[in-house]
């Protein structure tokens, strides 16, 4: 089995599994309970929160734990939109966002919010002049993902913040699901950021929305007093604990892991160039974990199925839009229907090996020759 789909999800690390087992042995109480056991559980959770904020270097931020990045994105966008709707109903985003952002903004558009899409250049970078020109006195929210999940394009959030911070009514949110654990950056350039445990070798079912302490949100899930006033319900203490362990672990020996992924990416890039019908869609400066290409002699689904039959696992688009048959993101960047209908996302990790890339290349070569 050759797994090259680490941006869809990652296997749970041994460290997370071991620590999780220990956590369950020592702490099962409800951290909302005010007895000593509850207080001990709350201490565990508070420690985990401090670890996460510390690792991401986020002072003056709080965390609302969620079920994953989809929920975090929903809480960020709807939470900000609803609470600020008297100030304005204008939101700016890009055409590169994950389906969870797109669906949520479509929903808000039906609720009377106005959504504008900022242009991108031929390298996929946000056009800053266009962004500036879209801002009005009604603009309350700018949501721009840090790393696109299909192409790996990394946005310069600092430059975007330099613009949005000139407007006190604008809150700046970023979906950092493909960035956390894969890049080291100044995460504090945004007011809110979303990410998910299962993309960083943690469990599925836990995510976080990290927000500046002075930001107010309308909750999506109402309930009794809980860890965060923005999400009711009993906090999943062990999952929160595991999220902190996963984050700590992924940033351990980070430079070594990053170097390995960069080398594999370059090797894959160079090998792909030798296949006749391949066009590489990810720009050279994209995140090394993601390499998107099109094998234009076939459709994405045909190639994916062929590889899957050989136990080589890749994606067509992001896992959540994989039934579409084309990539809207590749279409936006390349403006080419054929490339968008035949795009494949390979996502690698520090766990990947050169022999796995070789197996993928051999399979693709054989496939291309047979077409
Ligand atoms: N945002 C991005 C950029 C993603 O890549 C994903 C998952 O593919 C999500 C959001 C959704 O994450 P989750 O599966 O945790 O809801």
Active site residue 320: yes
Task: Break the chain into its structural domains and give their ranges.
Answer: 14-251, 253-370
ipTM for the predicted complex comes to 0.99
Give the DSSP H/E element, type plus range, for residue 129. Answer: helix 128-134
Find out whether the beta carbon of 70 lies less than 6 Å from any atom of ligand 1: yes
Residue 184: name the closest of 250, 120, 127 by CA: 250
The listed CATH number (1.10.1060.10, 2.40.430.10, 2.60.120.260, 3.40.640.10) that belongs to domain 14-251? 3.40.640.10
Q: What is the mean pLDDT of each run of 10 residues along the chain (371 residues)?
A: 98 98 96 96 98 96 98 98 98 97 98 98 96 98 98 98 98 98 97 98 98 96 91 97 98 98 98 96 98 95 96 81 77 95 97 98 93 78
Q: Where are the beta strands (DSSP E) in 204-272?
A: 207-212
Distance 347 CA to ligand 1 centre (A): 14
Find out whether the beta carbon of 12 lies less than 6 Å from any atom of ligand 1: no
pLDDT score for 324: 67
If you classify domain 253-370 with CATH, what class do you get?
alpha beta
Strands 61-66 and 207-212: antiparallel
Distance 70 CA to ligand 1 centre (A): 6
């Amino acid at each position: 089995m050759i797994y090259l789909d680490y941006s869809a999800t990652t296997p749970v690390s041994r460290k997370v599994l071991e620590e999780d087992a220990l956590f369950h042995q020592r702490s099962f109480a409800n951290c909302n309970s005010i007895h000593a056991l509850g207080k001990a559980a709350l201490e565990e959770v508070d420690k985990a929160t401090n670890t996460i904020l510390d690792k991401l270097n986020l002072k003056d931020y709080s965390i609302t734990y969620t079920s994953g990045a989809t929920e975090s994105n929903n809480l960020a966008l709807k939470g900000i939109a609803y609470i600020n709707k008297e100030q304005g109903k204008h939101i700016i985003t890009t055409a590169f966002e994950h389906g969870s952002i797109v669906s949520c903004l479509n929903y808000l558009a039906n609720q009377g919010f106005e959504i504008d899409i900022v242009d991108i250049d031929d390298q996929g970078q946000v056009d800053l002049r266009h962004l500036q020109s879209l801002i009005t006195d009604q603009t309350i929210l700018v949501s721009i993902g840090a790393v696109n999940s299909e192409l790996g394009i990394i946005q310069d959030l600092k430059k975007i913040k330099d613009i949005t911070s000139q407007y006190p009514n604008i809150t700046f949110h970023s979906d950092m699901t493909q960035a956390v654990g894969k890049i080291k950056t100044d995460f504090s350039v945004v007011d809110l950021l979303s990410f998910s445990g299962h993309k960083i070798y943690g469990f599925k079912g836990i995510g976080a929305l990290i927000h500046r302490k002075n930001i107010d949100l309308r909750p999506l899930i109402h309930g009794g007093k809980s860890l965060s006033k923005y999400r009711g319900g009993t906090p999943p203490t062990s999952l929160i604990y595991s999220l902190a362990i996963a984050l700590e672990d992924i940033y351990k020996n980070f430079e070594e892991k990053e170097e390995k992924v960069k080398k594999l990416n370059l090797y894959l890039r160079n090998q792909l160039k030798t296949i006749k019908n391949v066009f590489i869609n990810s720009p050279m400066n994209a995140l090394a974990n993601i390499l998107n290409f099109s094998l234009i002699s076939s459709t994405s689904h045909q190639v994916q199925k062929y590889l899957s039959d050989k136990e080589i696992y890749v994606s067509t688009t992001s896992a959540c839009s994989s039934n579409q048959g084309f990539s809207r993101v590749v279409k936006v960047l390349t403006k080419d229907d054929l490339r968008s209908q035949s795009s494949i996302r390979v996502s690698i990790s520090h766990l990947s090996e050169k022999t796995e890339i070789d197996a993928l290349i051999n399979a693709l070569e054989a496939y291309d020759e047979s077409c």
